[in-house]
Every structure is written in structure tokens, then in C-alpha cells.
Structure 1
């Protein structure tokens, strides 16, 4: 029992020590922090629309409620001030022939209720502006216009937040692991991606970036150096018919950054493969981007993905997502360089030929020499 716990503890410590810092999480969020920014945070108020859209729902709803309650209370105070200046309140004992600026405002509470009724255009008919005060008429016009602006901005922000293509991107999923195996006689890195909705993404494009730390010949260390990774889809890289899961693959050839990687050394390398899928949402025509990342521990050498699409007896195509990230071990060369050399050797063998008419004749050497 003690040995078992010791092994589990040692494996846990090893796993924690091998955890790598990743720039992009599996769900596409970027792990980056900005420090010592010289510009003031007030610059975010210049682009207030984007700032509001990027806020979380709890902060957005707080601003939404505060904007309406604040404007109702502010104009309620202004209506109370108008009634106070015009001496319409009961505390001034107005005469019977006195015409108030606003009918039936008896205090701050009734002024707040009139402000609410005015801004949301309820109009119960009990309180109303009279033609006695020009100030009240201008205040009514100003509150009505400002109320329309607040309603348009806040309702538009909530509608835009709900309909953002970021939510559509959550219905695009990538496989948990990437695999390396032979495909079409070539060593490839394969990733599976699926669209969980029946609606298509128009003009989809898949590409990747390999992030790693490199040292230039001048001795400069570049952290998060980006290398383009070209992915290929059998259905075509552009205008994908993305109705069923697709397997995208990157050919590991001499131009690939994985060419000198082997099955024994891949876990010792420090890199992060970020995969992007750009497309246009068919329903809203808004563009969206889905991204995920893979670190060396999530790249399985010598595996391929299990089949996922089948055809039922009723003639329908069925996608079994239980096998979406399931992998199967297959025979795979332990490095791309070995596979390339093997093909090159076989190609040289095919270029040679045998001559059946060739006869090897042996000549005997004599030690006699004529002078």
C-alpha cells in the first residue's frame, strides 16, 4: 500500500513538473497579461461600444439597471426642483386657482414616478405637464430624447452580446489530442474538428501557428516565435462542406518544423501548436474564429483516429461523437527522416536493372615477366 501511494505521489509530482504554460487554452482563451501600459484606462471609454460588449454579463446587467434607475432618479430630482421653484408642492399651500407645472406632484416620490412614466412612455394620465411652465416643457422633451438614446444603446448592446459570433464558435469542437501517423504514404500530423450544428460555416479556412522559443544566430532569444503550419483537408481548404466531422492533417516533410522530431524526442521539446478555424456564420453573416492548442503531451505518436461516421439501415448517416477523440494505435515510423530515407532508398533500387547477358570472367595473374 505504501509503495502504491509513493508511486502515485511521484507520478503526480512528475505530472505537475511537466505542465507547460500555454498561450491559448483548449477552449480558445488567450493567456496573456499586459503590464506597464503607458496609456490611461480611460482610453477604453473612447471605444465604449466595444468595452460594453466585452464585459461579462454580471457587469453588463449592473450597468443596464444602473443606467435606467439613475436616469429616472436624476430626472425625478429635476421635476421635484421644478415643482419646488414654481411652488406647486402642498407645503406652499397653493391657491385653488394655482396651475402647477406638473399635475399631482406632491413630493419626491411622485416626481420619481412621473419621471419613470415619462421616460418609458407609460402615461397613466394622472400626472401630466401643463402649459404653464416653459421649463417643464423643455425638460419633458430633453428626457424623452435622452430616454430613447439610453434604450437604444443598452438594448442594442444586449442584443449584440447575445448574437455575437463568439457563441457560435462554441459549437465548433476540436479533438482532445493530435495524432501522428501515416496517411497516403506520408507521415502526417492529424487533428479532428466537428461542427455541432447542421448550419454551415461559409468560406471556412483552417490554418495553424507553431509557437516556440528560438535563438537567432545573433544570440537573440525570441519567445513565442510563430511558424506557419499548413493544414490540408481532403474536401478542400476553402469552402468546406462542414456538415460532418473532418480530419485535417499537416504533412511532415522537409519543409515542416516537425521534420527532425522523433517519437522519442517529442515530449522533450517545448512548443505549442495553435489551430485556427475562420468562417462566416450562415444565419447572421458574421465572421467568427475558433481556436485551440496542443502541447507536446497532447500529440500522440503512432496513433490514428477511430471511425466516427456510419450509415444506418434506414439510409441515414450517423455520427458517433463517443469516438470523436478516441485513438487507435497503428504502425508508424519513429521519425519523418527515417521514412524519407526509406523511400529514397527504394527509389534508387527501382532505378537499377540487371543485365542477364553479362558474364563475369576471371583472369589469372602470372608471375613471369618478359624482359
Structure 2
């Protein structure tokens, strides 16, 4: 019994939308990641990205500082008995520390004027030019990846909230599975589309067993358009008819069937026109039969609508006519607002 519960709770997508699939035994994984270095750097966690950002500067300063040190060493600048007429490659550089400071000052264009290159060493001049070109490209790459991660629509998707539970009840006379979605920011999301995937094991006619089989689940919304304007909490529903992948689901077998319902919301940010995607999943234990969501949208005395998220995840039983009729006020309010 314990093994069965563990198998039911196993999920591919977590509630917060993260991928729970671990990738193992991929040949040449490091080479694949380095081949697409831009995506690798952008996808890095912040602690690694900050380390890379800082180490890019420090390592290039030190690397070219060592090169300048050996150039001066080869030119005999550190010999104590040098002729007074000897012109060093780098003025006022007497050690590795001085070469490092010269590299730092040159790369950051500080230019204190105390350390500088003379005309006697073309190799030092060429090294300085190479340093500015190479480090400039490296800084552009790292800074661009840093800004790209800050501007990723993934952060905007974190402000999209899904209901913790899904419910099954009658909607417009049809048995429907319903989920609630809300935008946590005032900036609206446009062209919103909710899609679903039913993930379950399957056995083909040839007897081949597929551990994870995907079937599309269509979701609809009570609106004149299938691309609603997400500025208030909206309830999406899937009709449980003979064409549904969940056909045959009933109150008796709901918690005995093994599946995972992956729900994905694709939307466009009005401010930047960038696409964002947010997802979650529901297991049979997170689907309630004979319940509906409590009203979350209210009207205030000042003529404004108020979305009270205290009721966002709350549900109510609808097994009697009184509860069903009390639900019509919420539906009319949401429908009128979406049709405006």
C-alpha cells in the first residue's frame, strides 16, 4: 500500500511548475553544454552567474598581468644592475603586483598615469591591444547573459497563480473539470491560452507499455474569445464527455486512477510583447468531485472590482440546489466583466 501511494504521488511537473525529470547517462553532456554556451550561461543559477561575472574580470586582470610581467622580465626590466639608459617596457612596474595593477588600470580604463607602456616593446603594445579586444568581447558576453536572465519572461510567469486544487462539477449543464488562474500583477496579460496534457501509463495494441503517455486536454473559458484578457481571476474548464481523455472518470474511480494533469498557460506581456509561460500539475488526490470554487471577485462601494485572494483556493460543496444557485452570481459577475 505504501508503494502504491508513493507511485501515485510521483509527478513529472511540480506544483510550482518545475521539471522533476532527472537526466542521466547522457554521452558528451559537457560538450553539448559548451556547444551552446549562451543558453548554458543564461540558465545558470544566480550564485554561479555572479561567480562567473566576478571571475571574468579578476581572471582576465590576473592573466594579462602575468603576461606583462613576463614581457618585462624578458626585457630585463627587473635586473638590479641595469644600465641607467635602459628603457623598460612598462614604466614603474617592478613586480607581479605592479603588472597586475597595470592590467587592471588598462582594462578598466582608469589610467592613473603612473604605470604606462613605452615605445621600446612592440610585444607589450600588441598584448595591450589584444587584452582590450578579448576582454571587451568577454565582458559583453557575460553582461549580456546577466541582463538576459534579469529580463527573462520566466520571472513574469512566477506572478501567475494557479489554484492548488482542481474541481469537477456541472457547468452550463455539462460535467466539467475546472481550474482557476489569476494574474498577480496589475499589468495585464493578453492572448492567454490554457492547454493541458494528460500524462499516464498506456499499453498499446501490440502489448508495448509506455510509462508516460501524453494526451491533449482542451480547456475553455466563458468568453467571446478563446484568448481572454487576464486581469482578474478566470476559471477555465474542460468538458468531461466521450471525447475527453478523462472519459469514464467518476467519483468512485477518481482516486484510484493514476495520472497527472499538466496545465500550461501561455500569455503575452502587454508591456514588452514577450511571451511567458507558467505551468502546474494536478494528481487525482488534488481533484475534488462535486465541488466548485468560491467567489473571489467582488464589487466595492467605490464602483471598483476587488479580487480577494483569501478565497482563491477555497472551494464549496455543490451537492444541493442552494449552493448551485448561489454560484450563479459569481459566474454572472465574471462573465459581465470579461465581455466588457
SS at match of 1:146: helix
The match for 2:90 among 102, 114, 118 is 102
Are residues 1:74 and 2:63 paired?
A: yes
The match for 2:243 among 255, 267, 276 is 255
Are residues 1:59 and 2:52 paired?
A: no
1:15 CA drift (Å): 10
Q: How far, CA to CA, are the matches of 1:284 and 1:123 in structure 2?
A: 40
Aligned to 1:342: none
Gaps of 5+ in 1: 1-9, 333-371
Gaps of 5+ in 2: 321-340
SS at match of 1:30: coil
Aligned to 1:22: 11
The match for 1:163 among 151, 161, 166 is 151
SS at match of 1:98: coil
Aligned to 2:167: 179
Q: Over residues 13-66 of structure 1, what are the superposed CA-to-partner deviations in whole Å (9 max), with x where a residue is unaligned? A: 799657521011001111112233233421210100001111111111222222
Aligned to 1:361: none
The match for 1:224 among 207, 212, 215 is 212
Of residues 287-296 and 200-209 in structure 1, the stretch that sits farther from structure 2 once superposed is 200-209
Aligned to 1:126: 114
Q: How far, CA to CA, are the matches of 2:24 and 2:281 in structure 1?
A: 24
Q: What pairs up with 1:156-305 in 2 under 5 angstroms?
A: 156-236=144-224, 238-305=226-293
Aligned to 2:101: 113
SS at match of 2:255: helix
Aligned to 1:318: 306
1:281 CA drift (Å): 2.3
8 Å CA contact 2:197, 2:215 repeated in 1: yes
Q: What pairs up with 1:24-39 in 2 under 5 angstroms?
A: 24-39=13-28
8 Å CA contact 2:220, 2:226 repeated in 1: no
1:68 CA drift (Å): 1.6
**Where does structure 1 differ by over 4 angstroms across 4 or more consecutive aligned residues?**
13-19
Over 3 Å counting, the alpha-carbon distance change for 1:269 and 1:125 in structure 2 is: same
Over 3 Å counting, the alpha-carbon distance change for 1:62 and 1:29 in structure 2 is: same
State how many pairs are aligned.
321
Q: How far, CA to CA, are the matches of 1:317 and 1:327 in structure 2?
A: 21
Q: CA RMSD in A?
A: 2.0
Aligned to 1:364: none
8 Å CA contact 1:210, 1:274 repeated in 2: yes
8 Å CA contact 1:211, 1:273 repeated in 2: yes
1:282 CA drift (Å): 2.5
Q: How far, CA to CA, are the matches of 1:17 and 1:287 in structure 2?
A: 36
Q: How far, CA to CA, are the matches of 1:79 and 1:140 in structure 2?
A: 9
Q: How far, CA to CA, are the matches of 1:109 and 1:120 in structure 2?
A: 16
SS at match of 1:92: coil
1:205 CA drift (Å): 1.3
1:93 CA drift (Å): 3.2
1:236 CA drift (Å): 4.9
Q: How far, CA to CA, are the matches of 1:82 and 1:303 in structure 2?
A: 78
Taking structure 1 as the reference length, the TM-score comes to 0.82
SS at match of 1:235: coil
8 Å CA contact 1:209, 1:275 repeated in 2: yes
8 Å CA contact 1:120, 1:147 repeated in 2: no
Over 3 Å counting, the alpha-carbon distance change for 1:181 and 1:175 in structure 2 is: same
Over 3 Å counting, the alpha-carbon distance change for 1:145 and 1:18 in structure 2 is: closer
Over 3 Å counting, the alpha-carbon distance change for 1:318 and 1:224 in structure 2 is: same
